[in-house]
């Protein structure tokens, strides 16, 4: 049965009448307002917002609360049932299987040959033009022209190559800037398929007529993506404005044949191309499986729900939810949210918003995705990031997701610590935990390569490093040695590179690592994970000496994170210090405690002496101008500096939100326990010995020399 949407001549949706023409009958919708097509999309399920209730007594209040809880329980039960029905509609969704593709296309040589020739002619002619440009010395001058041609070639070759181009558009380590800019247009500027086919798909998938679902629907798609296109509509039962995403017809057949051919190319690459050390077939299979997952819109809806549960607890982040009753394997119904793409700086600033604030929100959310829960959005191109009028950052399109293994999450943070410490041996060993190398590979040859790159890069502070600089430097190392970069790591680089690229449009001096530092500092100071606890100890102690400047810097940076809690700071280290496995740490702490106490005692003496009038000093010390203490300028400055630094750290802790002096209570408690009293005794004994030695030195002191100063 044919279905067309017609709008009266010269009349837009909402201003005139919108008709659904179905055979002989005509369904006329009620009048609706004009839809603004500049808005973007997120998804949601209708929510019941409880009305305000005047509480007259406790019984009424308890009754209202019970009713609200009951209503929420019913809503949740209905939602679960609706999701189950959506899953049943998507039960026959296709999954990626190289074996099934081989079985299917091995018996269709003519079709395979025709598509192979189409791809070879398109890409071969492009490669020939590049070779001619290089031969004529105009390769750089023609970059923009060739980038436009490549974008058009990918568009003509269809959805598989559009997805490939989208991936390349976020890889500055592979593509020149001209290619990045042109390929980024693949995110939206795609040809649409006929609206009649889209509307027929909605009816077929949901088993309902279009006019029974919507009061009105846009006559043309609002946006077209590589795998589908989106319409704006109004639900008939609730009046809510929604986005309806409909899958392209024949998409499974198209991408199936392409991946069959590309996989065959992967076998040739593995066999004959030595420069690529990774398993090309495995990478293709990984990419193909993710693309096939995007074809199941119920799976995308479940991805959105999980993402919302994990990350939408922050008020500045907006995450979609799903209308399960109007969702199937090929149709996804979503809330409509007005907003601006994150790469449209002028439009964002016109709303009184700042791009850098939104990018920082994106970076903090991405760090939580990558390193806290491990579940992250693997396709954060500008079309999937939206700035809402109230300043929130909306994440869209949850078809492509990935996960960071738990071991790798800690290893990445540890890797940053080792980079800060310039501990290249430890950096090389991190690649075992990151699953870059098998345990039988010797990492010692990798250390000089890391040292050569990072010694130059780290001449500036780590926070000043451009993320692309690190990606390029590590890329050079990865290509030289037998690394096998996991898919999740490539997606992490892609995610952070995209965010940094968006920020650089607004501020050429923006550094993603500087924006990430507060999160890393917070995790190091508060996370009880043994790997991170050891990384913190490694960062704070060097050659048996505590580095107070590192602790101060961590606290300064950590306080910038909105989730930083002073009461949690250093708790993991305190637990280790007071635990049965903390003997080595206790030795270091005892040594440092003695040094700090000495600095406070002698600093107090120095301050007291300096506060005495000159005449009084002469009378008290019988005319001896050398004063009560004798030490070199370097030693005096070191003592005062240490004391002042410890005081600054204490002020930082005190001024932090949610600070509670009780965080130090465990130390006092442990000193009172019989099994740990020796720790306190060792500290007191060390302090006594140091002060006695210092007193003896002053009693037996020699006359003032050029290297000493009177205090």
Q: Highest mean pLDDT: which of 391-405, 473-487, 543-557? A: 391-405
Phi-psi domain of 634 (left: phi exceeds 0; alpha: psi -120 through 50; beta: other): alpha
Q: Distances from the Cα of 491 to the Cαs of 181, 384, 658, 683, in angstroms?
A: 19, 15, 36, 49
- Name 306's Cβ contacts closer than 8 Å, sequence gap at least 6: 375
pLDDT of residue 39: 40
| 241 touches 217 (CB < 8 A) | no
- On whether the CB atoms of residues 153 and 133 are closer than 8 A, the answer is no
Residues 201 and 331 sit within 8 Å (Cβ to Cβ) = yes
Helix axes 487-506, 512-526, angle to 10 degrees: 130
What is the structure's pLDDT at 15?
34
Give the best-scoring range by mean pLDDT among 339-348, 543-552, 608-617: 339-348
Q: Which residue has the tokens 């029974």?
A: 212
Phi and psi torsions of 387, nearest 5°: -95, 115
pLDDT higher than 90, residue 121: yes
CA distances to 528, 678, 679 from 583, rounded to whole Å, are: 18, 12, 10
CA distance 151 to 122: 12
- Judge whether 502 and 534 are in contact, CB under 8 Å: no
Q: Cβ-count burial of 374 within 10 angstroms (0-12 exposed, 13-18 middle, 19+ buried)?
A: middle
More confident residue, 386 or 494: 386
Q: Where residue 270 falls among pLDDT bands split at 50, 70, 90? A: confident
Length of the chain: 711
Q: At what angle do helices 583-611 and 677-699 cross, to 10 degrees?
A: 40
pLDDT for residue 533? 79
Contact (CB, 8 A) for 142 and 133 = yes
Q: Is the pLDDT of residue 74 over 70?
A: no
| φ and ψ of 144, to 5 deg | -65, -45
Q: Which is more confidently placed, 56 or 280? A: 280
Model confidence band, residue 620 (pLDDT cutoffs 50, 70, 90): low
Is the pLDDT at 129 greater than 90? The verdict is yes
Q: Out of 175-184, 256-265, 468-477, which region has the weakest mean confidence (pLDDT)?
A: 468-477
Query: What pLDDT score does 428 carry?
Result: 87
Listed ranges 30-39, 550-559, 679-688; the one with the highest mean pLDDT: 550-559
- For the cut 70, the answer to whether the pLDDT of residue 409 exceeds it is yes
Cα–Cα distance between 500 and 505 in angstroms, integer? 9
What does the alpha-carbon distance between residue 258 and residue 241 come to, in Å, rounded to a whole number? 37
pLDDT at residue 44 greater than cutoff 50 = no
Q: H or E element: which one contains 495?
A: helix 487-506
User: What DSSP designation does 476 have?
Assistant: H
Q: Which residue has the higher pLDDT, 425 or 47?
A: 425
Tokens standing for 63?
């009754």
For residue 532, the model assigns a pLDDT of 80
Q: Pick from 33-47, 124-138, 163-177, 502-516 the range whose average pLDDT is largest.
A: 124-138
Average pLDDT estimate for 683-709: 52
The encoded tokens of residue 491 equal: 């997606």
Strand partners, 24: none
Please write the tens of the pLDDT for every residue from 134-178: 999 998 889 999 999 999 999 888 888 888 887 676 555 457 778
**CA 499/CA 367 separation, integer angstroms:** 11
pLDDT recorded at residue 116? 93
For 12, what's the count of Cα atoms within 13 Å in the CB-facing half-sphere? Answer: 5
Q: Reduced to 3 states, what is the DSSP secondary structure of residue 41? A: strand
Identify which has the larger pLDDT, 554 or 710. 554
Q: Which of 154-168, 203-217, 573-587 has the lowest mean pLDDT?
A: 573-587
DSSP string covering 247-306: EPTTHHHHHHHHHHHHHHHHHHHHHH--S--S-HHHHHHHHHHHHHHHT-HHHHHHHHHH
Give the confidence band of 326 by pLDDT, cuts at 50, 70, 90. very high
Cβ pair 35, 232 in contact under 8 A: yes
Average pLDDT over residues 112-126: 93
Query: How does pLDDT run across 338-354, given as a tens digit for each residue?
Result: 888 888 888 998 989 98
Return d(Cα 495, Cα 500) in angstroms, integer: 9
Token pair listed for 17? 């009448």
Whether the CB-CB separation of 395 and 307 falls below 8 Å is answered with yes
pLDDT for position 220: 92
pLDDT attached to residue 465: 60
Residue 194 CA to residue 219 CA, distance in Å, equals: 11
What letter does residue 371 receive in the DSSP assignment? I
| DSSP helix/strand/coil, 123 | helix
Given a cut of 70, whether residue 32 has pLDDT beyond it is no
Residues identified as active-site: 379
Q: What is the DSSP string of 543-610?
A: TTEE-HHHHHHHHHHHTTSTT--GGGTTHHHHHHHTSTT-HHHHHHHHHHHHHHHHHHHHHHHHHHHH
pLDDT of 674 higher than 80: no
Distance, CA of 153 to CA of 119 (rounded, Å): 9
**Is residue 666 very low, low, confident or very high in pLDDT (cuts 50, 70, 90)?**
low
Mean per-residue pLDDT of the chain: 75
Q: What is the pLDDT of residues 444-482, one digit of tens each?
A: 888 888 888 777 766 655 555 666 666 666 666 666 676
Q: CA torsion, points 421, 581, 522, 431, in degrees to nearest 10?
A: 50
Distance linking the first and last C-alpha atoms of the chain: 99
In this prediction, residue 522 carries a pLDDT of 86
| Tokens 């490694």, residue located | 538
What is the predicted pLDDT for the residue at 629? 60
Q: What are phi and psi of 334, to 5 degrees?
A: -140, 155
- The mean pLDDT value for 236-244 works out to 90
State the number of CA atoms in the 13 A half-sphere of 591 facing the CB.
13
Q: Is the pLDDT of residue 317 over 70?
A: yes
Query: If you search the block for the tokens 């993506």, which residue do you land on?
Result: 225
Element (H, E) at 119: helix 109-135
| Overall average pLDDT of the 427-451 stretch | 84
- Is residue 240 within 8 A of residue 234, CB to CB? The reply is yes
Share of the chain above pLDDT 90, in %: 20
Q: Is the pLDDT of residue 609 over 50?
A: yes
Q: Phi and psi for 389 in degrees, rounded to 5?
A: -60, -30
3-state secondary structure of 141: coil
Burial of 403 (C-beta count, 10 Å sphere; 0-12/13-18/19+):
middle
**Alpha carbons 222 and 219: distance in angstroms, whole number:** 9
Q: Cα separation of 565 and 558, whole Å?
A: 9
> Looking at residue 132, what is its pLDDT?
93
Q: Are the beta carbons of 281 and 289 closer than 8 angstroms? A: no
Instruction: For residue 224, list its beta bridge partners.
Output: 229
Cα–Cα nearest to 406, from 527, 518, 514: 527
* Helix pair 297-311, 355-368: axis angle to 10 deg: 100
Give CA–CA dist 599/577, Å, rounded: 22
């Amino acid at each position: 049965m044919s279905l067309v949407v017609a709008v009266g001549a010269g009349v837009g949706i909402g201003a005139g009448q919108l008709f659904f023409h179905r055979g002989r009958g005509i369904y006329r919708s009620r009048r609706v307002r004009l839809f603004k097509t500049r808005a973007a999309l997120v998804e949601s399920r209708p929510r019941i917002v409880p009305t305000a209730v005047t509480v007259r007594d406790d019984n009424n209040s308890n009754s209202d609360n019970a009713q609200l809880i009951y209503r929420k329980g019913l809503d949740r039960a209905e939602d679960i049932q609706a999701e189950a029905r959506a899953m049943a509609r998507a039960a026959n969704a296709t999954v990626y299987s190289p074996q099934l593709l081989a079985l299917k296309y091995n018996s269709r040589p003519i079709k395979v040959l025709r598509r192979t020739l189409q791809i070879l002619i398109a890409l071969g002619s492009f490669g020939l033009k590049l070779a001619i440009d290089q031969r004529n010395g105009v390769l750089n001058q023609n970059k923009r022209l060739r980038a436009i041609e490549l974008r058009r070639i990918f568009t003509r070759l269809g959805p598989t190559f559009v997805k490939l181009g989208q991936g390349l558009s976020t890889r500055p380590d592979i593509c020149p800037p001209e290619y990045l800019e042109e390929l980024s247009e693949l995110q939206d500027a795609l040809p649409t398929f006929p609206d009649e086919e889209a509307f027929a798909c909605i009816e077929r998938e949901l088993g309902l007529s279009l006019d029974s679902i919507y009061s009105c629907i846009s006559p043309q798609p609002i946006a077209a993506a590589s795998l589908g296109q989106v319409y704006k509509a109004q639900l008939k039962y609730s009046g809510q404005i929604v986005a309806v995403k409909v899958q392209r017809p024949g998409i499974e057949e198209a991408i199936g044949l392409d991946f069959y051919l590309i996989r065959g190319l992967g076998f040739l690459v593995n066999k004959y191309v030595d420069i690529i050390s990774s398993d090309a077939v495995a990478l293709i299979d990984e990419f193909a499986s993710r693309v096939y997952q995007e074809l199941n819109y119920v799976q995308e809806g479940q991805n959105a729900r999980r993402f919302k549960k994990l990350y939408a607890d922050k008020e500045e982040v907006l995450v979609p939810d799903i209308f399960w009753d109007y969702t199937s394997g090929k149709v996804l119904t979503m809330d409509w949210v007005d907003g601006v793409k994150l790469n449209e700086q002028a439009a964002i600033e016109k709303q009184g918003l700042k791009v850098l604030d939104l990018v920082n929100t994106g970076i903090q959310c991405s760090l939580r995705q990558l390193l806290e829960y491990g579940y992250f959005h693997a396709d954060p191109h500008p079309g999937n990031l939206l700035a809402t009028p109230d300043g929130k950052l909306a994440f869209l399109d949850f078809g492509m997701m990935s996960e960071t293994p738990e071991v790798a999450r800690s290893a990445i943070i540890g890797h940053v610590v080792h980079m800060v410490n310039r501990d290249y041996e430890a950096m090389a060993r991190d690649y075992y935990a990151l699953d870059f190398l098998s345990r039988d590979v010797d990492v010692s040859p990798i250390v000089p390569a890391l040292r050569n790159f990072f010694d130059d890069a780290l001449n500036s502070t780590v926070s000043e490093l451009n993320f692309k600089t690190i990606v390029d430097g590590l890329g050079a190392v990865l290509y030289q040695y037998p690394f096998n970069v996991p898919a999740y790591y490539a997606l992490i680089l892609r995610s952070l590179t995209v965010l940094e690229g968006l920020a650089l449009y607004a501020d050429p001096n923006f550094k993603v690592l500087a924006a990430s530092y507060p999160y890393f500092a917070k995790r190091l100071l508060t996370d009880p994970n043994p790997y991170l606890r050891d990384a913190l100890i490694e960062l704070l102690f060097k050659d048996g000496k505590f580095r107070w400047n590192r602790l101060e810097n961590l606290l300064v940076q950590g306080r910038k994170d909105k989730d930083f809690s002073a009461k949690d700071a250093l708790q993991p280290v305190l637990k280790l210090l007071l635990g049965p496995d903390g003997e080595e740490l206790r030795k270091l702490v005892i040594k440092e405690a003695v040094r700090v106490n000495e600095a406070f005692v002698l600093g107090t003496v120095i301050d007291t002496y300096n506060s005495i009038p000159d005449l009084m000093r002469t009378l008290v010390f019988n005319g001896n101008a050398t004063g009560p203490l004798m030490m070199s300028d370097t030693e005096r400055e070191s003592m005062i500096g240490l004391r002042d630094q410890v005081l600054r750290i204490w002020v930082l802790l005190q001024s932090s939100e949610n600070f509670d002096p009780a965080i130090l209570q465990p130390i006092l408690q442990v000193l009172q326990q019989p099994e740990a009293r020796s720790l306190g005794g060792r500290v007191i004994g060390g302090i006594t010995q140091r002060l006695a030695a210092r007193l003896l030195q002053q009693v037996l002191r020699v006359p003032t020399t050029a290297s000493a100063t009177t205090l």
